[in-house]
Each structure stands twice: as structure tokens, then as C-alpha cells.
């Protein structure tokens, strides 16, 4: 039986990957100056960040509707999929999971011959991307649906994403930390490090420079990385050269790693700000 994959648009995949692995990305909505845009459909990454720079106070996001997910399920069904796994942002930070669950219920009537499982990925952006690619590879190698569900649960428990910030002020704007912390961070030359795992955003520390933040993250990566799951993802906002330098350093330390580089999803990037670098990997 053919197995299809669905995820929200914070995951980054090339068109070739989406076609090869039968993956549908459902766009998150972006609200800006009275209009609603769909991430990756009529709003590119570059345009999204231009909007943020122009008027950050008028920027907002919303989850896809159940109808958007149902359209993705129906499309995969028309392509022959009899089983579909849908990964979403954590339900603790987005209504995306709930929309996908509602769409699953609608699909029982619309496409009754298709089995659909909706899973909170516990992560976002590069974390979702790495999970999707590992699951897609397993499907391509012939894993059945029960094996895929078990694999997804294992990957969810092992995925880690760490975000290196230039400043704390943008994350305050998103409402994720108290105002007093933002004001203090604006006065001090601190570079916060955030983590995303287990469905939650974690404050994992701060350093006095991005260089020290990178050193800490690479040290943690070297100690915790699972060589049996060699994929590592790097994403960035406006610092591709620095990100490539990190890739080269990681490749030197971990020569068996498979490293992907992409631009940081603006759906998450609006809360982290310019200069952000994120790394995602699977732990032992």
C-alpha cells in the first residue's frame, strides 16, 4: 500500500523531495496589513522577512483550516495513498494539530478507504524536516504503516532543535517570555540559546557572543548526537556564510554526518529575529 506524508509548512523541503516522497506541506497563514498570505504559496521566505522588517507589529500567523489539511489528504488519496501520516507543530504552541485532527474526522466521510494518523511532532521547522526525511526514507525502503508510526514516535523522542539568537527582544515580541526578561536582555550583551523538544520551548542558556554560542552547541552536538541517525539540519536568517562555516566544522568533527542547510522558516523566525541560526539533530 502507498503511504503518504503531510506536514505543516514550517518544515522545509525541496520540490524534488516533496515529489519523490509524496509529501504535502500545508501552509500556515500569515496576516499582514489586512491581507492573508499562505506560507510558501503566495508568500516566499524573502517576502515574509521583508514584511517583518517593514511592520513587525502588524505581523501575525494562524493555523491552516481543517479544509486545508483535508485537501492535502484528498490529493494524496487521488495519487493512490491508502495510509497517511500527518506531522504537525506541537499542540502546546499552535492550533495546527487540532485543525489536522478535525480534518482527519472529516476524511472518514470524504475518503473512507484511507487510514490517517495525526501526530504532534513535538518539534518545529528543521526538527520536523529531519523527521519527515527519515520517515520518507523508511517508506521508500518498504516499511509498513505500523513500522512508520513506531519510527515516528521514536524520532519524536530523540529530535532536538537548538536556536541561537542574536538578541532576546524578538522572542519577547512573540509573547514567549516575560517583559522584564526582555528588558534585561536588551541591556546586557547576552546571546540566548533556546531549545525545542518534547513539544515545548526551553531556555537552555546564554553566552556573551554568537561565537561562544556556536562553541557550546557544537560541543553538545558532539557529545549527544546519535551516529545511527546521522542527519543534521542547519537553518539561518541572513547569515548563510556563518552557517556554512558551522557545517564545515561539524563535518570535520563528525565525518559520517549528513548535513542539510536551509533558510529558517519565517513562521518561527518572526519570534527569533535577524541573525538566528538553528541546529537540529537526533540524540542517543
- Domain extent listing, the chain: 2-158, 159-282
Report residue 151: phi and psi, to 5°.
Answer: -60, -45
Query: Is the pLDDT confidence value at 183 over 70?
Result: no
| pTM for this predicted structure | 0.92
Report which secondary-structure segment, H or E, holds 243.
helix 240-253
* pLDDT band at residue 185 under the 50/70/90 scheme: low
Query: Is the pLDDT confidence value at 11 over 90?
Result: yes
- Say which residues have a Cβ less than 8 Å from residue 235's Cβ, sequence separation at least 6: 12, 125, 126, 243, 261, 262, 263, 264, 265, 277, 278, 280
Separation CA 247–CA 234 (nearest Å): 8
185-213: average pLDDT: 83
Q: What is the pLDDT of residue 180?
A: 44
Query: Is the pLDDT confidence value at 7 over 70?
Result: yes
Query: Is the pLDDT confidence value at 162 over 70?
Result: yes
Separation CA 27–CA 56 (nearest Å): 20
Other CB atoms within 10 Å distance of the CB of residue 36: 12
Distance of CA 50 to the CA centre of its chain: 21
CA geometry: angle 21, 197, 93, nearest 5 deg = 90
CA geometry: angle 180, 196, 51, nearest 5 deg = 70
CB 220 within 8 A of CB 162: yes
Tell me the CATH class for 2-158: alpha beta
Q: Which CATH number applies to 159-282?
A: 3.30.1180.10
Amino acid at each position: 500500500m502507498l503511504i503518504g506524508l503531510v506536514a505543516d509548512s514550517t518544515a522545509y523541503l525541496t520540490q524534488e523531495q516533496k515529489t519523490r516522497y509524496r509529501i504535502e506541506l500545508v501552509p500556515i497563514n500569515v496576516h499582514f496589513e489586512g491581507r492573508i498570505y499562505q506560507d510558501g504559496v503566495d508568500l516566499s521566505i524573502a517576502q515574509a522577512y521583508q514584511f517583518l522588517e517593514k511592520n513587525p507589529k502588524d505581523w501575525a500567523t494562524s493555523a491552516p483550516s481543517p479544509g486545508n489539511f483535508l485537501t492535502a489528504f484528498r490529493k494524496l488519496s487521488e495519487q493512490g495513498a491508502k495510509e497517511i501520516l500527518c506531522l504537525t507543530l506541537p499542540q502546546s504552541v499552535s492550533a495546527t494539530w487540532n485543525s489536522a485532527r478535525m480534518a482527519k474526522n472529516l476524511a472518514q466521510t470524504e475518503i473512507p478507504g484511507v487510514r490517517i494518523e495525526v501526530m504532534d511532532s513535538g518539534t518545529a521547522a528543521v526538527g520536523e524536516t529531519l523527521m519527515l526525511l527519515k520517515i520518507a526514507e523508511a517508506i521508500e525502503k518498504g516499511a509498513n504503516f505500523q513500522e512508520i508510526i513506531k519510527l515516528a514516535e521514536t524520532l519524536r523522542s530523540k529530535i532536538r532543535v537548538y536556536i541561537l539568537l542574536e538578541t532576546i527582544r524578538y522572542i519577547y515580541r512573540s509573547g514567549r517570555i516575560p517583559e522584564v526578561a526582555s528588558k534585561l536582555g536588551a541591556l546586557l550583551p547576552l546571546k540566548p540559546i533556546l531549545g525545542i523538544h518534547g513539544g515545548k520551548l526551553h531556555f537552555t542558556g546564554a553566552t556573551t557572543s554568537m561565537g561562544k554560542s556556536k562553541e557550546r552547541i557544537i560541543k553538545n552536538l558532539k557529545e549527544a548526537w546519535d551516529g545511527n541517525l546521522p542527519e543534521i539540519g542547519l537553518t539561518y536568517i541572513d547569515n548563510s556564510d556563518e552557517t556554512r562555516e558551522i557545517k564545515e566544522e561539524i563535518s570535520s568533527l563528525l565525518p559520517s554526518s549528513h548535513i542539510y542547510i536551509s533558510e529558517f522558516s519565517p513562521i518561527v523566525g518572526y519570534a527569533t529575529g535577524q541573525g538566528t541560526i538553528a541546529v537540529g539533530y537526533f540524540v542517543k
